[in-house]
A and B are shown apart, each in its own frame.
Chain A
Amino acid sequence: MSTNPMQSFGNTEPCKKWGMAILVDQCLGCDACVAACTLENQTPFWNELWRTHVEDLEFGEYPNSQRIFVPRLCMQCENPPCLYVCPTGATQIVDGGIVVVDEYKCIGCQYCVEACPFGARYMYTTEDVQKAKETYGINTIHEVPHVDKCTFCYETAPDNTNTPACVRTCVGGARVFGCLDNPNDEVTKLFETGEAVQLNPELGVGSKVRYVINRNLEGSVDV
């Protein structure tokens, strides 16, 4: 069994279940998380494809309109549809409950891209691999074409800390990340009190990324 490179701070036991709560009201829409993730994970920004990005949504009509920013990323489902459809076992759940893609086993059929209800996956093409090599040189982390997605920075785990790049960079403190095994963790409290809610709970995927929103979002959506 592989060891989890990301361990809770101060704990020697690896975390079994990582989670993230997104405080929508605190997101400023500055895209610092997108930039941090792009550099950390070398996502193909040249094709405007990201592991995480921020949706800019408007609700209602003037004078009762409101604007919110909703960070999007992989929901790290406990019961991930992308896992079951992968024909080669390239999509796996590793220690910590994180859904990752083994890029060498991925054949690029994109069945998982179709299967993800949150649109959180994209194809890292042959051309993207080439561009990544040109951009990042010997530091490139994408060797072959594959389907790519957010892994809570599992591959890079900088400084052996457990915090993904987007969380470290967030200026508004909108992303709360922690170990769901730890009852004292802020993210666990948000999950357990029901403040952080799942998107599409009817899908039954059990997402470990949840949203905290303290606003009434009635009205039409203009995307």
Chain B
Amino acid sequence: MNNQKKGFTLLGYSSKQIGIVLGSLVIVLVSIYLAFYGYNLDQIEEQVFNVPWGLDVVGYTFFALMATGSAMVNSVYTVFGYKGQNGEYSRFIKYGAWFSLVTILPAWLLVLLSLAKPFDFTYIFVSPRISSRITWMAILYTFYALMEAIELLYMILSERFERIKQIKYMEMGIGILVLIAVVSVCTNLGQVFGSLISMPAWYGPWFSVYFIFSAVLLGASAELLFMYPILRKEGSVRSFISKYYSAFFVIGIAFYTMYLTWIILSAWYSRETIWPVYQSLLYGAGAPIFWGVEIFIGLIIPLLISIYTLKKGNIKLMLLSAALLVIGGFASKYSIIVLPQQLRPYVWLTLQISNFSYFPSTGLIIMFIAAVLFWAAAFAVGSIVLPLNEKEKAKHLWIFR
């Protein structure tokens, strides 16, 4: 009776759900078109040759860290078995897995469009050079996407087929493989930058660790923002999320800040080549973004909010904290990737520090906006067509609602 009152249904989906899915699919298509439009525009715009890795690579890193970070956060449930005091975590873990899987797609879209010949990326698989960190990124991304998809499929299929659920340690085994994949992706991504001896501000093993801290913060905050609209009506889950993510943010921000301070202090000892970058960050051209967006908006305010909500539990403040962390996370990736390319040391008989200017082209900005649209719309499609609620069984083709 209720269904009839709600109007048109198709395969069990309400008209509202069908509308959202169709609307989201249109946005997915439009965003892909926009991304290629931005790419073509970028090709004919005035090129910024001195900063080869601009907003496209920043955006790619931002999404890749978000995806891997959210998978790390999910591993608290899948690997370490923490399910909340009353099993609240089980209510949204499948959404978390879907979020991790879908968030890697805009990263791939941006990194492919950062290539001069995007469709030739297959050469990485056809004729790989194993010494290249980018080759390893391709291999590890394939492993990661495969494992994350298997984890999500396991979660969906185990609700329908009891015998899958009963296989001992299956969930944990898959969870461990996903965790290995994401840590490998994250650390290798750090070493894409960290293995370049030509870029002293990037060079070294510290980038990998920095990326892991950064990924956890970005992943947890973005996951919270995306899942809130779905879980907003569930009071007990809301309260759990508020406290659980508060704890995550407080610990994450503390570790991140400590590590960032250590990096800056270490840079002081490489005065000739690395320090100019941090000088710019601390009291030069990069200072407004560093102090204003990365530190104040992206760390201090979220930390204060998270300390408050850890005790009092306020989901709306938590959402604000998460949004600020995402903004701060993006700003920090922008600074850490673009600034060292602007202030690059060259030795031609004597040391010279370049001072290249950089502002993203219109094409790159369009590509980034397209990736964000693509991401949100793709998440919405999966959230509706996949059975991601707790104990929800798939009705169509084993995996669809």
The reply to whether A107 and B49 form a contact with Cβ atoms under 8 Å apart is no
Among B327-369, those with CB < 8 Å from A are 341, 344, 346-352
Which residues on A sit within 8 Å (CB–CB) of B131? 84-85
The reply to whether A144 and B117 form a contact with Cβ atoms under 8 Å apart is yes
Which residue of chain B lies nearest to A82 when distances are taken between CB atoms in the complex? B198
A213 touching B198 in the complex, CB below 8 Å, given contacts A109-B115, A113-B52, A126-B43: no
The reply to whether B127 and A85 form a contact with Cβ atoms under 8 Å apart is no
Which residue of chain A lies nearest to B119 when distances are taken between CB atoms in the complex? A107
Query: Which among B52, B127, B346, B348 is the interface contact of A88 at CB below 8 angstroms?
Result: B127
Complex Cα distance A89/B348, Å?
28
Contact with B along A66-77 (1 / 0, CB 8 A): 001010100000
Which residues on B sit within 8 Å (CB–CB) of A211? 349
Q: How many A-B residue pairs have CB under 8 A?
A: 120
A123 touching B114 in the complex, CB below 8 Å, given contacts A57-B349, A87-B124, A88-B123: no
Which residues on B sit within 8 Å (CB–CB) of A144? 117
The reply to whether A114 and B198 form a contact with Cβ atoms under 8 Å apart is yes
The reply to whether A111 and B134 form a contact with Cβ atoms under 8 Å apart is yes
Min CB distance B83 to A, Å, is 41
Which residue of chain B lies nearest to A199 when distances are taken between CB atoms in the complex? B347
The reply to whether B346 and A87 form a contact with Cβ atoms under 8 Å apart is no
Complex Cα distance A213/B121, Å?
44
Which residues on A sit within 8 Å (CB–CB) of B346? 117-119
Which residues on A sit within 8 Å (CB–CB) of B341? 114
B197 within 8 A of partner (CB)? yes
B132 within 8 A of partner (CB)? yes
The reply to whether A81 and B132 form a contact with Cβ atoms under 8 Å apart is no
A88 touching B115 in the complex, CB below 8 Å, given contacts A81-B198, A114-B196: no
Min CB distance A77 to B, Å, is 11
Which residues on A sit within 8 Å (CB–CB) of B133? 85, 111
The reply to whether A107 and B197 form a contact with Cβ atoms under 8 Å apart is no
Complex Cα distance A70/B349, Å?
8
Contact with A along B191-202 (1 / 0, CB 8 A): 010011111000
Complex Cα distance A128/B126, Å?
27
Which residue of chain A lies nearest to B116 when distances are taken between CB atoms in the complex? A108
Query: Which among B53, B347, B350 is the interface contact of A110 at CB below 8 angstroms?
Result: B53
Which residue of chain A lies nearest to B353 when distances are taken between CB atoms in the complex? A223
Supplied contacts A70-B348, A111-B192, 12 more A-B pairs, CB within 8 Å: A47-B49, A84-B132, A87-B135, A89-B128, A106-B117, A107-B120, A114-B196, A114-B199, A115-B197, A199-B349, A217-B350, A221-B350
The 9 A-B residue pairs whose C-beta atoms are closest, nearest first, are: A108-B116, A87-B134, A117-B198, A110-B52, A88-B123, A145-B116, A87-B132, A84-B131, A87-B135
14 contacts between A and B (CB under 8 A): A70-B348, A86-B129, A88-B120, A108-B116, A108-B117, A114-B53, A114-B196, A115-B196, A117-B197, A117-B346, A123-B49, A125-B47, A127-B43, A144-B117
